[in-house]
Amino acid sequence: MSDLFTDKNTQQPRLWLWDKPLGELDAWMRTGRWQPSEVVVLVPFAQLMNGAKQAWAHAYPTSFVPRFETTRNWANRLGSFTPAPDDLSMDAVHDAAVSAALLASIALPGLDQQWRHTLAPQLVGAAQSLGGVVSAIEPCKRGAWLERMQAALALGTGDGFNKWESLLAAMALNWAATSSYATDVLWELDAQRSCVALAVLPGLQADSLSQALVTHWRDQFGAHTVLELSPLSPANGVVEAAYIFTADNAQDEASQAAACVLAHLQAGRVPVAIVAQDRLLTKRIHALLQTAGVDWRDETGWMLSTAPVAAMLMAWLQASRDNASSNQLLDFIKMLPLTLDPKLQAQLTSWEHQLRNQQLRSATQALQALARCGILLGSTNFADVLASWLSLAQTTRTPTAWREAMLQLLVGTGWMHQWNGDDATQQVLRMMRLDADLIDLWLSANPDVQFNSALPSDLVTACQPWSVAFAPTWQRMSVQTFTTWLRVGLEGGSYKPDYVGRLEVSALPMAQLLGRDVGAVVVAGCDATHMPAYVNNIGLWTPPQIEVLGLAMPVAQTQAALDAWCMVTGMPVLDVLWRQADGDQSLQIAPWLALSQAQDTLHMSSPWYQLRSWHAGTDTRIGTLQTCRATPKPQPTLQAHTPSRVSASAYQALRDCPYKFFAMQGMRLWESAELDEALGPRDMGNWLHTVLQLFHEQRQNNSGSDSRADSDLIDQLALQVRHDMGFEAAEFMPFDGNWVQLRDGYLAWLSQHEAQGYVFVQAEQPKERVLHNGHSPVVTITGTIDRVDRHGLSDEPLVLDYKTERLSKTIKRVTEPLEDTQLAFYAALMQDPLNTQAIQTAYLNISGQEIRGKGATQLVLQEHTMAGTDEVLAGVINDITRLQQGHALAALGDGAVCNHCAARGLCRKDFWTQDV
């Protein structure tokens, strides 16, 4: 095989015939007697420049290499470009600011601030879609072109929603046509002096700027100075059968794709190209290959919003809001590099447990709790340092001040020390016009992290001047506006990590396989959803407008996509994968893949199409045979580790399922409460307990009270407790709706209760009592009694436990006295072992619902308190003694208690077998 078609470095056969276009180029330069350095050859995309240079070096090893360039690369070589303040720059953050300014300059009925905010992204999208068309027009001719387009399209008129679409189209057209572009230098004398001749290598789709430059050069300097080269064509080698792999779901598809890549690498087919058309699937494949230690280069780039620095900045802005939640504050803290310190990490974990146990949902409450913990960062309370970082985003600022605040955060939190050199962080700095080089110098001179909230004075100049047209409302940006602006930049920007090492795998768009020599191609995501047979990226414009403006019609876009697919299917070594389902949604095979497999030449109308055979792929993943072993029911013991203190709920857990008691009490395992859950019955119960405690304690201190005073007092306390517990009015609305009926029902019952001679004694009092077996102490029972009343005549105590559940459920609790653990415990805690005074116990159901003429508050007495208490206490002593003696705590695995059990994952009930 000729050297022209063999890569001497990798020994892989070259897949593309460069001889025709390079031969034309060589003959043309000889005819014109031009040196290769005087000739610019425009290629369709940047990654093809090196391939073209290598092909020329192989074909003409003794000759200098022509200047293979893209239009953007050529323009950059001729000089840097700075857009005007109101130019369309194709930069997400710049254009977002200009679009807001343009919309702010227009006063129309109905065009309020919120509507402007909604229309701004559409204006940017419409204008940027015209950028390629306008940049291909010579700058001196754009004014006339704009007048022709305005006359032909008659934009700016219309009714209803068409009025806004027409307005945006007119603004986008004017914005694009009156802007300067980075490639405008190619129309100037500097470009014409930098070379003497211009050639163009075509891609799969015509490039309007390259074609316009060819026409311009032909008109200015004569036809002999330009050359349109023949397109590349694939080498006519032996094409093996392509293989189709069918996967069940996305994870299965990613796993099979990774296996295909590894198989190609083991066979020496390097590099392997992965066509990245489903980004989420590509990420999964990347993760699997990283685990296998495979080097990877992603030529498509990653969105900046997926980078750690983006996550940290957005978490900062979210945590800084007035209504921020504890979860949002935790997200921000966990992104900070300082949390890598083990000591601080342990302290913050303890604080987080406190937040969850106390259900402190708001960031304000969380910060107050953090301040009480006394965690130090150096010599300063960490809560104070954290509050200073959050305060950076809690005021309106100028755009420059916001950029300074962002830099202040990145430096003050130690992020820049930890992530210095990170590609994404550097890209974010450049995106916000922060001098990355100056910051690098400062970091080199200050290697030690100094956690602070003040921006070092020698870094103030890192905020470079930014010439951009800001709307009047953006001169003092709120945190919401800045958050939106930053998000636009992060989602519109991308970064490509630097690649060092031997190239093994490259992820790239399908069209950029043109001219690339690869060992094998793996195309995943070939289902009808991710590879449709019709491409329609027209955005705001209508088909007639697209035709007039010279944009790519959907038919042309579809043909370009079909050409790219047919080009890929001509690759010698090809694996194609598709999945049958995406979650619950069934997927169909991509139409073009089905037509290729059926060798349907009628519908595959592309010059790149060639027949080839297709076979079902063989799964190369290696499975391992695992012996299925039944999980036995756990039967742990505690013995010396038996808890010395037991509450009513803990003993109820022992009765329900001994293993649950072992997990929750013996192993000290508890469910981690979620901080962002909606308020539930438990929250309402805790709130009501506190309200009633304060109500009776304050009422007890008052010399006298009446129903009106009671109602006012309990209302006041209800609002106060709600505020103290951090409950928002909106989330508390379901409880507020029932409050009046609940309050009136409770006060009506209280009036009757006190008329019978009962008086309030105490509420929410913790109690404990040591139980003995003979003279030996066995266990201490503990509990907090909701409320104790006493009868004025008999002095007999009445122990009350509040319930906000259905009345029928409360009545069921006292049906079997020996099953009622809670009231038995409370009676025992109130009982003096040396005094046999009778104690009454009851549940007070405060559901707020009147049922069959009964009041909204009902007292449910336990008629057999003393007998039930004695039996329950005997059971406690017997059960705890057996545990101390080594009796097993077997998992029962039966009954309603298993439906919602926190220890289910530990007992492995779902993996038991019937005969175990």
What is the tens place of the pLDDT at every residue in 41-76?
Answer: 999 999 999 999 999 999 999 999 999 999 999 999
User: In the chain, count of helices (H) and strands (E)?
Assistant: 33, 25
Residue 915 has pLDDT above 60, yes or no: no
Query: Does 584 or 127 have the greater pLDDT score?
Result: 127
3-state SS string over 721-749? HHHHCCCCCCCCHHHHHHHHHHHHHHHHH
Residue 901: pLDDT band (50, 70, 90) is confident
pLDDT of 908 reads 85
Residue 2: pLDDT band (50, 70, 90) is very low
Cβ neighbourhood burial of 74 (10 Å; 0-12, 13-18, 19+): buried
Residue 500: pLDDT band (50, 70, 90) is low
Residue 283 has pLDDT above 50, yes or no: yes
Residue 558 has pLDDT above 70, yes or no: yes
Q: What mean pLDDT do residues 186-209 have? A: 91
Percent of the chain that is helix, strand, coil (3-state, to 5): 50, 15, 35
- Yes or no: say if 310 and 424 are a contact pair by the CB < 8 Å rule: yes
d(CA 193, CA 310): 43
d(CA 315, CA 312): 5
Q: Which of 411, 407, 399 is nearest to 479 (CA)?
A: 399
pLDDT of 302 reads 85
- Extents of the domains making up the chain: 19-81+185-231, 92-180, 242-301+500-616, 342-495
DSSP state of 421: T
pLDDT of 156 reads 58
Q: How far is the CA of 722 from the CAs of 691, 765, 830, 895, in angstroms?
A: 9, 21, 31, 37
Q: What mean pLDDT do residues 557-582 have? A: 95
Which residue spans within 827-891 are E strands per DSSP?
Answer: 840-846, 857-862
Residue 211 CB: number of other CB atoms within 10 A? Answer: 15
Residue 488: pLDDT band (50, 70, 90) is very high
Print burial letters for 668-695: b (CB count within 10 Å at least 16), e (below 16): eeeeeeebeeebeeebbeebbbbbbbbb
User: Residue 512: helix, strand or coil by DSSP?
Assistant: helix
pLDDT of 4 reads 35
The pair phi, psi for residue 681, each rounded to 5°, is -55, -35
What the block records as the tokens of 717 is 């306390």
The pair phi, psi for residue 200, each rounded to 5°, is -130, 125
Residue 100 has pLDDT above 80, yes or no: yes
Tens of pLDDT, residue by residue over 585-639, are 999 999 999 999 999 888 889 999 989 999 999 998 988 887 877 788 889 999 9
d(CA 218, CA 226): 6
Q: Which of 535, 584, 529 is nearest to 559 (CA)?
A: 535
pLDDT of 795 reads 79
Q: What mean pLDDT do residues 423-435 have? A: 92
Tens of pLDDT, residue by residue over 795-805, are 789 999 999 99
Q: Which CATH architecture has domain 242-301+500-616?
A: 3-Layer(aba) Sandwich (3.40)
pLDDT of 574 reads 96
pLDDT of 508 reads 94
Residue 410 has pLDDT above 70, yes or no: yes
Residue 6 has pLDDT above 50, yes or no: no
Query: Which of the following CATH numbers is that of domain 19-81+185-231: 3.30.70, 3.40.1350, 1.10.600, 3.40.50?
Result: 3.40.50
The pair phi, psi for residue 862, each rounded to 5°, is -95, 110
Residue 774 has pLDDT above 70, yes or no: yes
Residue 916: pLDDT band (50, 70, 90) is very low
- Yes or no: say if 52 and 84 are a contact pair by the CB < 8 Å rule: no
Residue 40: pLDDT band (50, 70, 90) is very high
Residue 911: pLDDT band (50, 70, 90) is confident
Which residue spans within 180-330 are E strands per DSSP?
Answer: 197-200, 226-228, 233-234, 242-247, 272-275, 296-298, 302-303
What the block records as the tokens of 708 is 């009106």
pLDDT of 8 reads 40
Query: Does 915 or 790 have the greater pLDDT score?
Result: 790
The sign of the CA dihedral 314, 319, 323, 328 is: positive
pLDDT of 834 reads 60
Q: What mean pLDDT do residues 285-296 have? A: 92
- Yes or no: say if 633 and 262 are a contact pair by the CB < 8 Å rule: no
Domains 19-81+185-231 and 242-301+500-616 share a fold: yes
What count of Cα atoms within 13 Å lies in the side-chain half-sphere of residue 187? 19
Q: Which of 789, 786, 767, 769 is nearest to 834 (CA)?
A: 769
Residue 9 has pLDDT above 70, yes or no: no
- Yes or no: say if 782 and 646 are a contact pair by the CB < 8 Å rule: yes
> What mean pLDDT value characterizes the chain?
89
Q: What mean pLDDT do residues 492-506 have? A: 83
3-state SS string over 291-316? HCCCCEEECCCEEHHHCHHHHHHHHH
pLDDT of 157 reads 59
pLDDT of 1 reads 29
